[in-house]
Amino acid sequence: EAKRQGRGRYELFEPSLRKRVHDDAELENDLRQALARDEIRVVYQPLIDLATGRLASVEALARWHHPKRGLISPLAFIPVAEGSGLIGPLGERVLRTACHELVRLRQMLGDRAPQTVSVNVSRAQLRQTDFVARLSELLRSTGIGPEALMLEVTESLAAQDEGVQSVLREVSALGVALSLDDFGTGYSSLSCLHALPVNQVKVDRSFVSEALDSNYHRVMIEATIRMAKALHLQTVAEGIETLEQAALMQYLGINKGQGYLYSHPLNAGELEAWAGQQAAHTR
Ligand code: C2E
Ligand code: MG
Ligand code: MG
Ligand code: MG
């Protein structure tokens, strides 16, 4: 009797489960094709030096225009890539494109080009045995200089993963900087600063959007800044959407700002135009 009940329950849930598994498999297939056809694009969002108002850096963000489903968020396709071994080629494609784009921007814009480009990396990507060797070869072949590259990691990626932590120490030894993304949202933000050779923390958008109305969120940002200064880390506020938020972040002493107030993520051509114009305004 219990068996029959169990079986009934199983059948009740099975169709939706089967559909989800099917959807993921389909997405994985499409992603494999998109990579083979070179359809993954990279866009760049400016980071502004809050003290000078000048372009400081850009963050590379992956984009996938699916032929039937339209634009798919990286929040949806990065996990599929991670679960299927496709994150290696995808991540490498983003890294490569971003480094070459920095070379091109330097040629076009000279000292108005961003000083650094940061690229998000995920756990499965860092766990590839040849990640550090390939990264160092990429730096050599583009000649951008390791200090011009920053990798963005989240604490959940590195937490309790000795393998990943040691890869990140090797990356840091190459001279590539590490930025701790979405800071404050996880369970181990503080211990992460000890476990990893971090150079920068990015205060999560959820704190920035609440900071004007919520004493708690503002106090958390203040504490993060004080800690970062004592540890000689740079600070970034992500998701700045209003002038009021920008003014508060500058007043509190955040080094760099990123968000729709300054610019949405831009393709390479748009970024070049934006950087050229922006430099003209701030000179
Ligand atoms: P993230 O690294 O925290 O990137 C910031 C996200 O916030 C981006 O979303 C960006 O478009 C968005 N954003 C920027 N300014 C604002 C703002 O003012 N308001 C709001 N509401 N949003 C803003 P996106 O491009 O959809 O990327 C989402 C996440 O996907 C990224 O979060 C990152 O974790 C991941 N991701 C994106 N590209 C890659 C990649 O190449 N590799 C890996 N491993 N992960 C990636
Ligand atoms: Mg990021
Ligand atoms: Mg972030
Ligand atoms: Mg975020």
Q: What is the 3-state secondary structure (H, E, C) of the chain?
A: CHHHHHHHHHHHHHHHHHHHHHHHHHHHHHHHHHHHCCCEEEEEEEEEECCCCCEEEEEEEEEEEECCCEEECHHHHHHHHHCCCCHHHHHHHHHHHHHHHHHHHHHHHHHHCCCEEEEECCHHHHCCCCHHHHHHHHHHHHCCCHHHEEEEECHHHHCCCHHHHHHHHHHHHCCCEEEEEEECCCCCHHHHHHHCCCCEEEECHHHHHHCCCCHHHHHHHHHHHHHHHHCCCEEEEECCCCHHHHHHHHHHCCCEEECCCCCCCECHHHHHHHHHHHHHHHC
Ligand 1 atom at shortest distance from the alpha carbon of 90: 41
* 206 alpha carbon, distance to own chain's centre: 16
Distance 204 CA to ligand 2 centre (A): 10
Protein residues whose CB sits closer than 6 Å to any atom of ligand 1 = 45, 61-62, 73-75, 78, 91, 94, 120-122, 152, 181-182, 205, 238-241, 258-260, 265
In contact, 53 and 47? CB cutoff 8 Å: no
Euclidean distance between CA atoms 265 and 109, whole angstroms: 19
Euclidean distance between CA atoms 283 and 281, whole angstroms: 6
Q: What's the pLDDT at 1? A: 43
Residue nearest to atom 45 of ligand 1 (CA): 120
Rg of the Cα atoms in the chain: 21
Distance 207 CA to ligand 4 centre (A): 11
Ligand 1 atom at shortest distance from the alpha carbon of 94: 41
Q: Which of 61, 138, 137, 74 is nearest to 100 (CA)?
A: 138
Question: What are the pLDDT tens digits along the chain (283 aa)?
Answer: 444 454 445 555 566 666 666 677 889 999 999 999 999 999 999 999 999 999 999 999 999 999 889 999 999 999 999 999 999 999 999 999 999 999 999 999 999 999 999 999 999 999 999 999 999 999 999 999 999 999 999 988 888 889 999 999 999 999 999 999 999 887 777 788 888 999 999 999 999 999 999 999 999 999 999 999 999 999 999 999 999 999 999 999 999 999 999 999 999 999 999 998 887 776 5
Q: What's the pLDDT at 3? A: 47
Ligand 1 atom at shortest distance from the alpha carbon of 204: 3
Residue nearest to atom 35 of ligand 1 (CA): 74
Which among 120, 205, 236 is the best mutation to test ligand 1's pocket, defined by most ligand atoms within 8 Å of the CB?
A: 120
Residue nearest to atom 41 of ligand 1 (CA): 62
Q: Any idea what the Cα angle at residue 60 is, between residues 56 and 62, rounded to 5°?
A: 165
Token pair of 100 as six digits: 């070459």
Token pair of 159 as six digits: 């937490």
Euclidean distance between CA atoms 63 and 269, whole angstroms: 15
